Structure 1
Amino acid sequence: MPYHASAQRPSWSGLPAELRAAVSDRLGSPVVTARVAGAGFTRGFAAVLHTAAGGRAFVKAAPAAEQPHLVEWYAREAAILDRLPADLPAPRPRWTLYEAGWFVLCTDAVDGHTPRLPWVPAELDATLAGYAEVAAALAEPSAELTALGLPHLADLARSDILWWEEVAAGREPPPPLPSSTADRLPDLVALESLLPRYAAGASGLIHGDLRVDNVLIGADGRAWFCDWTWVCSGPAWFDLAGLLLTAYAGGLDADRLFATHPATAGAPPDALDATLAALAGYYLTGAAAAPATASPHLPTHQRWSGEQCLAWLARRQGWA
């Protein structure tokens, strides 16, 4: 999956003239170049803007009439970014505006690139070290963050992530399954059902959508974490499992990477299995129902991710 080129976004010149003028005004100088972000799965505008005065900023924008869900997501991310610990490896917010029917979020621009796949050892090490820093910082979230009323992973799991039970009950069409898991639906239902119970006791916050395309490797080799829309209360090992899918797919010892990471301290022995089962169902059923407003690459990403979850789980369970 080419995560560095998964997005389909409008160009800077394709934005309304009034919007471009308002953004340039807030930046204090006319925009002279725009490097549109290639990663991601939404159709919202996202680019590093360079101004005539030599300034740089990262800007996201979406039209309220055509993409109200993106406006909601960007506004939520703005509120979260504004309350994250200042020393976290996350882009710092600058401002938001609403102009010409578009909502805009501006943050500092991170000078970096999406991690290369298969993972380069130094980039994977930096990403895992960076996430250990994030998990530690969010283990006891600030009052400002908790005041946002962010959701809990246990509730999100029940409402949106657990799909094998729906498949088993005939309420959701069964996705194609490889031979190693074709007759394992009862096991998948049982394993995914553990996730809400395991997540319920977590008091810290997690990123909630930690994938390789939400990571940037800076010029100094440090990992930065982007797209903070889906922050929720939950155990940090849930984030880690999703991040390590690409490590597993690249032939690395993802079991060891998971087990030895600080984020898994105190995790139940089958926490990874429960997460892989839940994510497999979420991705595979989602691949058949991707919204028209998403990137056309989204179903491919979901199908691939679901297949990796199942393959990793089957190997761990001895099904393969």
Structure 2
Amino acid sequence: MSPPPLPPVPYHASAQRPSWSALPTALRTAVADRLGAPVVTAQVAGAGFTRGFAAVLDTADGGRAFVKAAPAAEQPHLVDWYAREAAILDWLPADLPAPRVRWTLSEVGWFVLCTDAVDGHTPRLPWVPAELDATLAGYADVAAALADPPTELTALGLPHLADLARSDILWWEEVAAGREPPPPLPAPLRGRLPELVELESLLPRYATGATSLIHGDLRVDNVLIDADGRAWFCDWTWVCSGPAWFDLAGLLLTAYASGLDADRFFATHPATADAPPDALDATLAALAGYYLTGAAAAPPTASPHLPAHQRWSGEQSLDWLAHRQGWR
């Protein structure tokens, strides 16, 4: 049996970020002042696909915090993302396995978000069964807590997955209409464009009316496994109203690629209790188009590894869908 098709670059090493010493002196001084002591070590985060600064900072008094920072002039989108995440983290239910905000700071044209540090590692691929079990159990708790979210969180005016799907996720229709170049497809799937268009069109229909909130960007690089084996969920920028099974499908792409029974994990998870029978197929079709077309248009401000990871994720989505549909 051939080994599972792992990502081209490990998720724990997918980022390209500046070092602590590369930040402006005045910014480092301001951060240290807010932390209450000089920074003695900075462990830059290896996971993720942005070029923003992100690191666990240890201070001379024994303190530890996780800090993200981005310059407003060069990376205004990251400043917006970090500010949005800070607002969301402020109102997440207190018992969720998510970092808590300590403070934010604007200094010398940079925006800084400081949260509690999670002492953990990115899940290993192929998935270690205990780590996958912990992640799925942790997400069940997240989905249950966000099924009836706090009013303060919904008051932030978070987007709806149905709208995001129509504006940014569904791309097979654009390919079919000639408005988007077709991504390369395996020979057995080149005649399946009509089915891909039909399947992806189900996603906004199924997501319309959802009142629960979801993480919106649930991937391996947004999960940390702590020393006790508990899963923590990070990077909450893309929270939106939608069904929890959408998050779960995205997370399980790496379980499928690990050679595990991802269909069973999806079907038996509490988040899929009310999912339509073809919810997974609709999501996989949408993700395949989103990732495969996005791989050709990754922004220059992203990690240079992003296009390869998007291509790999799209290929896994399409392969999983093809097996479910009997297209191979």
Same fold (TM over 0.5): yes
Aligned: 1:179 with 2:187: yes
TM-score (norm 1): 1.00
The Cα shift of 1:83 comes to: 0.5
The Cα shift of 1:201 comes to: 2.4
- Residue 264 of structure 1 corresponds to 272
Aligned: 1:243 with 2:251: yes
- For 2:22 and 2:68, locate their aligned partners in 1 and report how far apart those are by CA, in whole Å: 14
- Residue 44 of structure 1 corresponds to 52
- For 1:30 and 1:236, locate their aligned partners in 2 and report how far apart those are by CA, in whole Å: 42
Aligned length: 320
Query: For residues 269-284 of structure 1, what are the structure 2 equivalents within 5 Å?
Result: 269-284=277-292
- Residue 167 of structure 2 corresponds to 159
CA deviations over 1:235-273 (Å, ceiling 9, x no partner): 000000000000000100000000000000010000000
Aligned-partner residue type, residue 262 of structure 1 = P
Aligned: 1:59 with 2:67: yes
- Residue 126 of structure 2 corresponds to 118
Query: For residues 79-228 of structure 1, what are the structure 2 equivalents within 5 Å?
Result: 79-228=87-236
Q: Secondary structure at 1:57's aligned position in 2?
A: strand
The structure 1 segments of at least 4 consecutive aligned residues displaced by more than 4 Å after TM superposition are none
Aligned-partner residue type, residue 127 of structure 2 = W
CA deviations over 1:142-166 (Å, ceiling 9, x no partner): 1100100000000000000000000
- For 1:49 and 1:250, locate their aligned partners in 2 and report how far apart those are by CA, in whole Å: 33
Equivalent of 1:13, from 21, 24, 44? 21
Alignment root-mean-square deviation, CA: 0.4
Q: Secondary structure at 2:22's aligned position in 1?
A: coil
- For 2:152 and 2:226, locate their aligned partners in 1 and report how far apart those are by CA, in whole Å: 28
The Cα shift of 1:179 comes to: 1.7
> Any conservation in 2 of the 1:11–1:45 contact (CA below 8 Å)?
yes
> Any conservation in 2 of the 1:82–1:93 contact (CA below 8 Å)?
yes
The Cα shift of 1:53 comes to: 0.4
- Residue 289 of structure 1 corresponds to 297
- For 1:12 and 1:259, locate their aligned partners in 2 and report how far apart those are by CA, in whole Å: 44
> Any conservation in 2 of the 1:90–1:225 contact (CA below 8 Å)?
yes
- Residue 253 of structure 1 corresponds to 261
- For 2:299 and 2:42, locate their aligned partners in 1 and report how far apart those are by CA, in whole Å: 27
TM-score (norm 2): 0.97
Provide structure 2 residue ranges, at least 5 long, that are not aligned to the other structure. Answer: 1-6
- Residue 4 of structure 2 corresponds to none
The Cα shift of 1:181 comes to: 1.2
- For 2:70 and 2:122, locate their aligned partners in 1 and report how far apart those are by CA, in whole Å: 23
- For 1:41 and 1:79, locate their aligned partners in 2 and report how far apart those are by CA, in whole Å: 21
The Cα shift of 1:32 comes to: 0.4
> Any conservation in 2 of the 1:76–1:229 contact (CA below 8 Å)?
yes
Aligned: 1:35 with 2:43: yes
Provide structure 1 residue ranges, at least 5 long, that are not aligned to the other structure. Answer: none
- For 2:146 and 2:186, locate their aligned partners in 1 and report how far apart those are by CA, in whole Å: 38
Q: Secondary structure at 2:174's aligned position in 1?
A: helix
CA deviations over 1:171-220 (Å, ceiling 9, x no partner): 00000001221110000000000000000021100000000010000111
- For 1:192 and 1:95, locate their aligned partners in 2 and report how far apart those are by CA, in whole Å: 40
Aligned-partner residue type, residue 187 of structure 1 = E
- Residue 77 of structure 1 corresponds to 85
> Any conservation in 2 of the 1:180–1:314 contact (CA below 8 Å)?
no
